[in-house]
Amino acid sequence: MAFTMRPGEPTTQAIRRRARTQLGRAADVLTDTKLPLSERIHEMRTSIKKVRALVALSRAAAPRKAHRADRRLHKLAAVTSNLRDAEIVVKTLDAIVPGLTRSRKDAALVKARLRLVTRLRGAERAFNAASVAESVTVQLLRERHRVRGWVPPHGGAWNKLWREPCVGLSKTYRRARSAMAHAYDDLSPDAFHAWRKAVKTHRYQMLFLQGVWPRPPTTHLAELEQLGEMLGEEHDLAVLEETVARDLTCLPLDSDRDRLRALIDLRRRALRAEARPIGERLFRERARIFRRRLQDRFRTDAQLGGDRRERTEADQDDAAVEVRDAPAPAPAPLRMA
C-alpha cells in the first residue's frame, strides 16, 4: 500500500517519503479539473490528515518544527472548510430526511434544502473565482519541500523514539482513549469531534506501520475505520444543526427547527450508542499495556519472519547440495548413420 512503511525501511526515510507523496498527491488532485470539486476537496483533506498523523509521530523527536508544520497544514485544510461544510449539510439533510428532492408534502424542509443548495453553489463559485485551488496547490508544494525540516536526520532523538515502532503510536492511542472518556462524560458535539480527530490520527498511524508486521492488525484497522465513519457522521449532524440554528432563513419557524433538531438528536443518539461498544473494545487497555502488547507482537512476528526466511534459505541450500551431489547422467549412446 502506498501509505505503509516497508519492512526494513529506515523510519526517517519512510516518514519523509510518505509525507512528500501525500502532499504531492494533494496538489495533483486539487488541480485535476476532470474530478468533481467535492471529490478534489475530500481527497486533498484526507492526504493532509495523513501527513499530520506522520507529523504527530515526529513531534517527540522535533517538537518545535513538528508543531509549526502541523499548524501550517491545519491552516491549509481550513481554507476549504466552508466549502466542505456547505456540501456536508446538504448530504446530511438528505440522509436524515430522505426524498426531499421529490417530496411536496414537507414544504418547509424542501425550502430549507433549496436554501442550503444555494449556499453550496455560492461557496463553489467563490472558491473558483478566488483561485483558491491554485493558491493552496502552491502552498502544498512548498510544504512538500519543507518536509525535511520536521523529519530530523536519523539518530539521536530518533533512536530514543524508535527503539520500538510502537512508542510514538501509543501516544495517539492514549489521546484517543482519553478523548472517548471525555466525550461520553461531556456529551457535547465538540467533545465527540475531538474524539473523531484522535481516532483518525491513530488509524493513519496504524496504517503507516502495518507494513512492518508480517501479520498486520487488520481487524483493529477495520474497526477504527468503522468508528471513524460513525463519528464523522455524528460531526456532520452537528454541522447541520449549527447551520440551521445560525441561518434562520433556512427554517424561519421555531416548530420546523425543533422538528429537524429532533430528527438530528434521534440519529445522533443511535450513532453514539453504536460507537460506544466499538470504542470500548478498541481502547479498553491502558496505553502502556497497548504498547507492550504491540511490541510483543512485533517481536514475535519479526522472529517468525526471520525463522521463515532461515527455513527458506536452508531449503534452498539443501536443494543446491542435492543438485551438486547428484550423480552425473550417463552419456547418451552414439547413433551411427
d(CA 54, CA 288): 21
Q: Is the Cα torsion angle 131, 51, 179, 279 positive or negative in sign?
A: positive
Residue carrying C-alpha cell 521463515: 308
Sequence spans of domains, the chain: 1-159, 164-303
Q: Give the type of residue at 166.
A: C
d(CA 19, CA 25): 10
Which residues 6+ apart lie within 8 Å of 224 measured at CB?
A: 199, 202, 203, 206, 282
Cell of 310: 532461515
Residues of the chain with pLDDT under 70: 1, 101-104, 153-167, 214, 297-337
Could you please report the per-residue DSSP string of 187-212? --HHHHHHHHHHHHHHHHHHHHHGGG
Which residues 6+ apart lie within 8 Å of 146 measured at CB?
A: 69
Q: What pLDDT was estimated at residue 315?
A: 44
Cell of 211: 507494513
pTM greater than 0.75 (yes/no) = yes
Q: What pLDDT was estimated at residue 155?
A: 58
d(CA 127, CA 117): 15
Contact 18, 151 (CB under 8 A): no
Q: Is 87 left (phi over 0), alpha (psi -120 to 50) or beta?
A: alpha
Q: What pLDDT was estimated at residue 290?
A: 84
CA geometry: angle at 52 spanning 150 and 170, to 5°? 95
Produce one character per residue of 240-269: b if its CB has 16 or more CB atoms within 10 Å, e if not.
Answer: bbebbeeeeebbeeeebbebbeeebeebbe
Residue carrying C-alpha cell 476549504: 80
Cell of 289: 499495556
